[in-house]
Structure 1
């Protein structure tokens, strides 16, 4: 990686904004003692001249525009007369002057349609008008070649990160009015009790808004009340995502299709995987390559858990071997450029065939998944999906002699012994976040009514820890999870990931075919 060739002092000189403002240009984390950027006027004059005209083509509006506009209208209807501030967030430091890849906050993408190409530090403002809200997108457009930003600022300069779009181009692309981020100051300077912000998206901007509230409202109680109102905004945005429109469902289908290709890639590589001391890493790398080829990235850290690691629910170290005779549990999802993600789990026999005990456990988990899927339709309660899967899990582990009570007793609310072998829930909503709609109220989520257009996972499992003395020895160290992505239809449900083999027989045939 090239050395960062500018100092904080030099970069600050390019912005001209007050140092205390959260809308300021980012300050590069380089240090003056290693800056080698030429400072002569001759260099500045030479590097600022002799460039071809930039491409100023304004794109046609992207496909996400109608979906984003519908979400803006819905949140406007819920918050009449209130100014709504929805930041994209900003770069997060990984180490010294390097950052994690930027990913906009889901609420920002929901309301703008700006996905993997969103600019860090952008802010959407919905300003109340007489009959709703007027949306404006604030972001830092590209610097002119007459500024030293484009060559001397490694965080936002064109020489360092590539060209950034103009205000006009983004306005056409997203069908939104745009303004330079520096003009956000005018919005903040007129902050009043009607202003709400998505707090978690940009903590620095949120802190500035909180400070302005204290000064401008001069009332600590009012400030606390404003934070409660902020939470309501986040809640409402989550609840609006509980059902998906046709465009959003199409994006989820694309994410599932890319994920299916990633699983095929893994199966093809199983012989190589089994030869390496860190075979789990090979699985992770193979899937991540597919995610980058067919999408933006992985939607979450891939779980590649072989042998007893499969009993660790969120095993993401992925540093162990993948041995023939073991099972490998792979929980992975591709996030496409719109930022919608799949979330799918398959458990594979590394050698290509299940042992009798592995098959017994695997088919019990599939039975639970199929039972849960069979009841999905509009009108049921979301919690019924989990309860149905648990009836199968309890019955099977009782049959295998693992419970101190009967299955019927274990299923009582004050018992639940079967949950020792599956402590997680069976389903969660899915969309822009892998665990989407997390700020929705309980009455709308776990206790809510299932509606057409909802998308969620069904993912029962059984996990017999290698040191669990309550299970027969032949079961110990076996972990199985089967996870599919489900769309609720007007009359029932569709398994979006059904094309990825699920039955034990189909999994064995899949491995044999691709090897």
Structure 2
């Protein structure tokens, strides 16, 4: 395991430390690196000395731990007798010798409860367990002896007498701080933790054990781990790929219905997002006077997200004027002008990695013009129509269909469709989609587009169930150069997006604290500007 990790993260790909040559000028130099790292025995003895104990580690059990255990049990029941490998993933290089901030793979976070920027290179393994192994308490164990034991493989804390401690800018304690100890992580997660160096041997033993039916891995999470397990599998490449795809699909579908803890984290993310929108309204006067006003808006929201949570759950869309008609406008380098609309699509990601996804379209100077209000009202009516049908037992796609009926009818009233609304709504028509090319809803959770690997019958064609969380986000986008649209509507883009929890008898709008009605939006903006 260590050799594979080292091959993936070569020395030349690490940031350059300051020169640390000892008093005699000793220290080996790497001819392929600009680094100057002392390696003399004297220096290594010296730097290892004089350190007090590390600060006490947090060993309080995570509030997510019991919920993560239930998720692992549900996964175990789907793949009896098989070894399941779910890596957190490696650090990812941004450019040259700098890395992106680490984010674990969503499946790993879901099954361990670990969020924020922990734990690069970690691997969760579920291996088959039977009552004969003491398996009555195994996750997913049943009367027939099924079930799995979970083991979490991590890099242990580095030794202060190692070169890594002072010279490795990716993993060294002087550079990035101490790693949690294995015992501490075991206490936090409730999962037995072992040194990652043991992974290869233990995987081999489990795969070779009598009764083991095979091995599956989340293949795209960590190339080093995927390479590690390759020799342990004897099936044809197509069968291996199909087995791994089935695991990824199952992991995605496990997240379709959120548990109590997940809903709490989503509430936390949405509440922080509402505070971010408030900061944007306060920043609008400054944005109007700046040549890159969209970035003033982006900075106001993203700064709140970083303070209130882990950061943003996706790249913020700060789109003023005609930029609002570009669905995923993330350059955010344009001006914000009085009289225009600002479309802000943004979400705070909590430390647990659960993210909100909310859009409001705001009049920059605090008041909608008549054409802006006309488009805004059409979109709001479409959103309300979607809310009206959303409840347990309704198919996911019916939410979209309800919104589309309103969009088509309003466009027909404006005279922009070549047919009537009913004809446009037919599969062979869809002319109204020129002005709303995206879907009305997507699942929300650890990923902004959560559960994306779920099968169609479990997602688009599935019935809504209590605990599902998704968005309702219709829009209308009339580009400035759109010659089919009335002149007064050109350059107007509107989207209204809310985060929705399915309850036992309907839905709850988690983002209802942010106003939606145009008069309420204007009053809210005025109250924040003082």
**TM-score after normalising by structure 2:** 0.91
Superimposed CA distance per residue, residues 305-363 of structure 1 (whole angstroms, 9 cap, x where no aligned partner)? 00000000000000000000100100000000000000000000101101100000001
2:433 is aligned, of 395, 419, 444, to 419
User: Distance between the aligned counterparts of 2:348 and 2:66, measured in 1?
Assistant: 24
Report what 2:84 is aligned to. Answer: 84
Matched, 1:182 2:206: no
Report what 2:388 is aligned to. Answer: 374
Report what 2:187 is aligned to. Answer: 172
User: Distance between the aligned counterparts of 2:155 and 2:10, measured in 1?
Assistant: 14
1:295 is aligned, of 279, 301, 309, to 309
User: Distance between the aligned counterparts of 1:319 and 1:55, measured in 2?
Assistant: 44
Matched, 1:159 2:174: yes
Contact 1:24–1:182 (CA<8 Å) still a contact in 2? Answer: no
User: Distance between the aligned counterparts of 1:154 and 1:117, measured in 2?
Assistant: 16
Report what 1:255 is aligned to. Answer: 269
1:189 to partner: Cα distance: 3.4
Superimposed CA distance per residue, residues 19-57 of structure 1 (whole angstroms, 9 cap, x where no aligned partner)? 4x2477843314644222222222111110000012344
1:200 to partner: Cα distance: 1.7
Superimposed CA distance per residue, residues 481-510 of structure 1 (whole angstroms, 9 cap, x where no aligned partner)? 000000000000000000001111011111
User: Distance between the aligned counterparts of 2:475 and 2:433, measured in 1?
Assistant: 10
1:188 to partner: Cα distance: 4.1
Report what 2:242 is aligned to. Answer: 228
Report what 2:165 is aligned to. Answer: 150
User: Distance between the aligned counterparts of 1:144 and 1:56, measured in 2?
Assistant: 16
User: Distance between the aligned counterparts of 2:156 and 2:395, measured in 1?
Assistant: 47
User: Distance between the aligned counterparts of 1:146 and 1:450, measured in 2?
Assistant: 56
Matched, 1:116 2:130: no
1:147 to partner: Cα distance: 1.3
1:172 to partner: Cα distance: 0.5
1:209 is aligned, of 211, 229, 237, to 229
Report what 1:48 is aligned to. Answer: 48
Report what 2:155 is aligned to. Answer: 140
Report what 1:195 is aligned to. Answer: 215
User: Distance between the aligned counterparts of 1:497 and 1:380, measured in 2?
Assistant: 21
Report what 2:10 is aligned to. Answer: 27
User: Distance between the aligned counterparts of 1:321 and 1:367, measured in 2?
Assistant: 29
**TM-score after normalising by structure 1:** 0.93
User: Distance between the aligned counterparts of 1:173 and 1:23, measured in 2?
Assistant: 28
SS in 2 for 1:443: helix
SS in 1 for 2:84: strand
Report what 1:71 is aligned to. Answer: 71
Report what 1:3 is aligned to. Answer: none
SS in 1 for 2:438: coil
5+ long unaligned stretches in structure 2: 15-29, 131-145
User: Distance between the aligned counterparts of 1:27 and 1:158, measured in 2?
Assistant: 18
User: Distance between the aligned counterparts of 1:372 and 1:25, measured in 2?
Assistant: 48
Over 3 Å counting, the alpha-carbon distance change for 1:139 and 1:25 in structure 2 is: farther
Report what 1:10 is aligned to. Answer: none
5+ long unaligned stretches in structure 1: 1-16
SS in 2 for 1:463: strand
Matched, 1:323 2:350: no
Matched, 1:355 2:335: no
SS in 2 for 1:437: coil
1:207 to partner: Cα distance: 3.4
SS in 1 for 2:151: strand
SS in 2 for 1:351: coil
Contact 1:23–1:184 (CA<8 Å) still a contact in 2? Answer: no
Off by >2 Å, runs of 4+ in structure 1: 21-28, 30-33, 55-58, 187-193, 207-210
Alpha-carbon RMSD across the aligned residues, in angstroms, is 1.4
User: Distance between the aligned counterparts of 2:309 and 2:292, measured in 1?
Assistant: 26
User: Distance between the aligned counterparts of 2:197 and 2:118, measured in 1?
Assistant: 17
Over 3 Å counting, the alpha-carbon distance change for 1:352 and 1:18 in structure 2 is: closer
Q: How does 1:496-515 map to 2 (within 5 A)?
A: 496-515=510-529
2:494 is aligned, of 453, 467, 480, to 480
Q: How many residues align?
A: 492
